[in-house]
Protein backbone atom coordinates (compact mmCIF):
# COMPACT_ATOMS: atom_id res chain seq x y z
CA UNK A 1 0.00 0.00 0.00
CA UNK A 2 1.24 3.50 -0.70
CA UNK A 3 2.51 5.25 2.39
CA UNK A 4 -0.24 7.39 3.89
CA UNK A 5 -2.86 6.27 1.36
CA UNK A 6 -6.20 5.02 2.59
CA UNK A 7 -8.00 2.15 0.89
CA UNK A 8 -10.43 4.70 -0.57
CA UNK A 9 -7.52 6.65 -2.06
CA UNK A 10 -6.24 3.48 -3.70
CA UNK A 11 -9.67 2.64 -5.13
CA UNK A 12 -9.92 6.16 -6.52
CA UNK A 13 -6.53 5.77 -8.19
CA UNK A 14 -7.64 2.43 -9.62
CA UNK A 15 -10.85 3.95 -11.05
CA UNK A 16 -8.88 6.78 -12.60
CA UNK A 17 -6.34 4.40 -14.13
CA UNK A 18 -8.66 1.61 -15.31
CA UNK A 19 -11.67 3.63 -16.40
CA UNK A 20 -11.32 7.36 -16.62
CA UNK A 21 -7.91 7.52 -18.30
CA UNK A 22 -9.01 5.11 -21.04
CA UNK A 23 -12.38 6.56 -21.98
CA UNK A 24 -13.75 9.92 -22.98
CA UNK A 25 -17.20 10.84 -21.75
CA UNK A 26 -19.36 13.42 -23.48
CA UNK A 27 -21.50 14.05 -20.42
CA UNK A 28 -21.20 13.77 -16.66
CA UNK A 29 -24.10 11.30 -16.73
CA UNK A 30 -22.11 8.96 -18.98
CA UNK A 31 -19.16 9.19 -16.61
CA UNK A 32 -21.37 8.59 -13.55
CA UNK A 33 -22.91 5.49 -15.12
CA UNK A 34 -19.52 4.10 -16.10
CA UNK A 35 -18.11 4.67 -12.61
CA UNK A 36 -21.22 3.13 -11.00
CA UNK A 37 -20.85 0.05 -13.20
CA UNK A 38 -17.16 -0.19 -12.34
CA UNK A 39 -17.93 0.05 -8.60
CA UNK A 40 -20.64 -2.60 -8.89
CA UNK A 41 -18.22 -4.98 -10.63
CA UNK A 42 -15.45 -4.14 -8.15
CA UNK A 43 -17.66 -5.01 -5.17
CA UNK A 44 -19.58 -8.00 -6.51
CA UNK A 45 -17.55 -9.75 -9.20
CA UNK A 46 -13.91 -8.89 -8.96
CA UNK A 47 -11.83 -11.04 -6.64
CA UNK A 48 -9.28 -9.45 -4.31
CA UNK A 49 -6.09 -11.15 -3.18
CA UNK A 50 -6.28 -9.41 0.20
CA UNK A 51 -9.76 -10.88 0.77
CA UNK A 52 -8.95 -14.57 0.21
CA UNK A 53 -9.63 -14.20 -3.54
CA UNK A 54 -13.28 -13.36 -2.85
CA UNK A 55 -15.20 -10.33 -4.00
CA UNK A 56 -15.67 -7.76 -1.21
CA UNK A 57 -19.37 -8.66 -0.93
CA UNK A 58 -18.62 -12.39 -0.61
CA UNK A 59 -15.82 -11.70 1.86
CA UNK A 60 -18.14 -9.62 4.06
CA UNK A 61 -20.82 -12.32 3.95
CA UNK A 62 -18.25 -14.96 4.93
CA UNK A 63 -16.98 -12.83 7.81
CA UNK A 64 -20.52 -12.09 9.05
CA UNK A 65 -21.36 -15.80 9.01
CA UNK A 66 -18.16 -16.60 10.91
CA UNK A 67 -19.01 -13.95 13.54
CA UNK A 68 -22.57 -15.28 13.95
CA UNK A 69 -21.28 -18.85 14.24
CA UNK A 70 -18.69 -17.81 16.85
CA UNK A 71 -21.29 -15.85 18.83
CA UNK A 72 -23.67 -18.82 18.83
CA UNK A 73 -20.99 -21.19 20.14
pLDDT in tens, the chain (73 residues): 455 667 777 777 888 887 877 888 899 999 889 889 988 888 888 888 877 888 888 999 999 999 999 999 7
Angle at 24 between CA 22 and CA 30, to 5 degrees: 115
Q: What is the pLDDT of residue 20?
A: 78
pLDDT of the residue at 33: 93
Domain of 67, in residue numbers: 23-72
Query: Does a structural domain hold residue 28?
Result: yes
User: Per the domain annotation, does 29 fall within a domain?
Assistant: yes
The C-alpha atoms of residue 12 and residue 69 are separated, in whole angstroms, by: 34
Q: What is the pLDDT of residue 62?
A: 93
Helix H, strand E, coil C: the string for the chain is: CCCCCCHHHHHHHHHHHHHHCCCCCCCHHHHHHHHHHHHHHHHHCCCEHHHCCECHHHHHHHHHHHHHHHHHC
Q: Does a structural domain hold residue 5?
A: no
Q: Is residue 16 part of a domain?
A: no
pTM, 2 dp: 0.61
Q: What's the total number of domains in the chain?
A: 1
Amino acid sequence: MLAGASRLDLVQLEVEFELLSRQHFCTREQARRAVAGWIDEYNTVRRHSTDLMLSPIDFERREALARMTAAAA
